[in-house]
Amino acid sequence: MKGSCGGGTFCFSSESVSMGHPDKVADQISDAVLDSLLEHDPDARVAVETLVTTGLIVLAGEVTVHNQAAEKALSKVEDTARRTVREIGYDDPTTGFDYRSCAVLRALHSQSADISRGVTSDSATQKEQGAGDQGLMFGYACDETSGLMPMPIHLARQIIARITEVREKGIIRWLRPDAKSQVSVEYQDDQPVGLRAIVLSTQHTEEALDDPNDPEAHMSDAARCTLIQEVIRPVVQRECPALWSDDIEFHINPTGRFVIGGPHGDAGLTGRKIIVDTYGGWGRHGGGAFSGKDASKVDRSAAYMARHIAKNIVAAKLARRCEIQLAYAIGVAEPVSIRVDTFGTGDAPDEALTEVVRTVFKPLTPRGIIEYLKLKRPIYLSTARYGHFGRTGAGLTWEETNRVGDLQRAVKGLVART
């Protein structure tokens, strides 16, 4: 049967969603608000959650700012939310959700004093900035792609990036912003050897139906072929041409039609796409979402740092696969644990690599991470689109592989001493 894996092989599937997916709309609004505040107050404390549904945006959470410019930006969060929705592409009131007509409700208040006392440094008492909450964060990297990401999530994201491109450029006129992709990759000996199935569901106008005047009509075969030829095929042939074959099973809008979509079709919430945001299910996840949170929240900053460490280890060819776990206690600066797992692919024992990480990347305190990765800048809206990892671009410091030489020297020195 197509799509099945056996006989020494296995399949792994990952999904991605477009910027017009309801949950991603919420993520982008939360991060747009965060950026608008960090632009004027790098020390702003922000934890903003967003809900979107038919004709409505709700903003809730905790915000503390420290100057008048940031207070003015905070007073304009409604404008920030509307501008973000417009940039996504929801500008047609007939879709049930558009930037002009939707209502925006806000329920924002200042950060709890009990939390603030744990995460605020004090030079008088030499108290170090502590973690904003307890929790565990993971970072992952592997050598399957040039971005050192697993192949399934990489392809799923590239397909979403391509469908957004053809929509925004008008190459396919009947596309609307909401879309989802899913890619199933066949592995043998832990290496990608084929594509078993690709799923692509995208919101569209009636123009894509086999009978635009029939309310029960399905997407036409011609429209499905257009999506394969204009969206999927170019991505696969650019990223992994050897994996393209006639055996790939395509599921294009498998329900038949997707006219009703976006927040009108499903409510969206910040933080519900944490696997899409990270490694597509391949690496572990600690459970904490990213969007709408400033870097004092280790859910975000420590996850970025863990990715940076894992990526540098793989880039240094010290392992083919690497996962880093960092764990923190609220109000405590130093991590309570650090773990390296190379899944048997490391050139040195995991325990030795853990000690190397402690040496090369210290301090792994919230303040140390924030300063090292320069996380007080307004850079976060772009991360809410197409994933937080495996990308290049200005400001994505956690994707830099600038510690390769340090790691190689540290491992060499450790081996020499033993």
Cis peptide before 378 (omega within 30 of 0): no
**For the segment 73-86, what is each residue's pLDDT rounded down to a tens digit?**
999 999 999 999 99
Q: How confident is the model at residue 284 (pLDDT cuts 50, 70, 90)?
A: very high
Q: Which of 24, 40, 167, 385 is catalytic?
A: 24
d(CA 274, CA 52): 17
pLDDT on residue 148: 98
Instruction: Determine phi and psi for 193, rounding to 5 degrees.
Output: -125, -10
138 tagged catalytic:
no
Q: Which residues contact 54 (CB under 8 A, 6 or more apart)?
A: 96, 97, 263, 264
**For the segment 125-175, what is each residue's pLDDT rounded down to a tens digit?**
545 677 767 899 999 999 999 999 999 999 999 999 999 999 999 999 999
Q: Of 115-119, 251-255, 384-388, which range is least confident?
A: 115-119
Q: Is pLDDT above 50 for 350?
A: yes
362 tagged catalytic:
no
Average pLDDT for the chain: 92
Residue 8, number of CB atoms within 10 A of its CB: 8
Instruction: Specify the 3-state DSSP secondary structure of 82.
Output: helix
412 tagged catalytic:
no
Q: How confident is the model at residue 4 (pLDDT cuts 50, 70, 90)?
A: very low
pLDDT on residue 121: 53
Instruction: Specify the 3-state DSSP secondary structure of 220.
Output: coil
DSSP single-letter state for residue 407: H
272 tagged catalytic:
yes
162's enclosing H/E stretch is helix 151-168
Q: Which of 45, 196, 273, 385 is catalytic?
A: 273
Q: Is pLDDT above 70 for 69?
A: yes
Q: Which of 162, 176, 297, 308 is catalytic?
A: 297
Q: Which of 294, 299, 323, 399 is catalytic?
A: 299
Q: Which of 258, 290, 361, 389 is catalytic?
A: 258
297 tagged catalytic:
yes
Q: How confident is the model at residue 5 (pLDDT cuts 50, 70, 90)?
A: very low
Q: Which of 39, 43, 60, 62 is catalytic?
A: 62
Q: What is the mean pLDDT of residues 244-270?
A: 95
Q: Which of 162, 167, 180, 264 is catalytic?
A: 180
User: What is the end-to-end Cα distance of the chain in Å, rounded?
Assistant: 53
Q: What is the mean pLDDT of residues 222-230?
A: 97
Q: How confident is the model at residue 1 (pLDDT cuts 50, 70, 90)?
A: very low
Q: How confident is the model at residue 7 (pLDDT cuts 50, 70, 90)?
A: very low
Residue 307's nearest CA partner among 256, 418, 383 is 383
258 tagged catalytic:
yes
Indicate whether this model's pTM tops 0.95.
Answer: no
21 tagged catalytic:
yes
pLDDT on residue 127: 57
266 tagged catalytic:
yes
133 tagged catalytic:
no
Q: Which residues contact 359 (CB under 8 A, 6 or more apart)?
A: 410
Helix axis angle, 404-417 relative to 298-315, nearest 10°?
A: 70
Q: What is the mean pLDDT of residues 211-238?
A: 95
Q: How confident is the model at residue 6 (pLDDT cuts 50, 70, 90)?
A: very low
Residue 275, number of CB atoms within 10 A of its CB: 16
Q: Is pLDDT above 70 for 189?
A: yes
Is residue 174 within 8 A of residue 205, CB to CB? The reply is yes
Q: Which residues contact 11 (CB under 8 A, 6 or more apart)?
A: 3, 4, 5, 184, 185, 186, 187, 196
Q: Which of 12, 15, 23, 32 is catalytic?
A: 23
Q: Is pLDDT above 70 for 220?
A: yes
d(CA 121, CA 140): 30
d(CA 225, CA 2): 19
pLDDT on residue 3: 40
Q: Which of 60, 217, 267, 329 is catalytic?
A: 267
Q: Which residues contact 64 (CB under 8 A, 6 or more apart)?
A: 44, 45, 46, 110, 111, 116
Residue 305, number of CB atoms within 10 A of its CB: 27
Q: What is the mean pLDDT of residues 31-41?
A: 98
Q: Is pLDDT above 50 for 20?
A: yes
User: Whats the size of the chain, residue-wise?
Assistant: 418
41 tagged catalytic:
no
230 tagged catalytic:
no
Q: How confident is the model at residue 2 (pLDDT cuts 50, 70, 90)?
A: very low
Q: Which residues contact 384 (CB under 8 A, 6 or more apart)?
A: 19, 24, 27, 28, 30, 31, 291
Q: Is pLDDT above 70 for 120?
A: no
Q: Is pLDDT above 60 for 223?
A: yes
Residue 250's nearest CA partner among 313, 151, 204, 183 is 183
Residue 126, number of CB atoms within 10 A of its CB: 7
Q: What is the mean pLDDT of residues 56-68?
A: 97
Residue 191, number of CB atoms within 10 A of its CB: 11
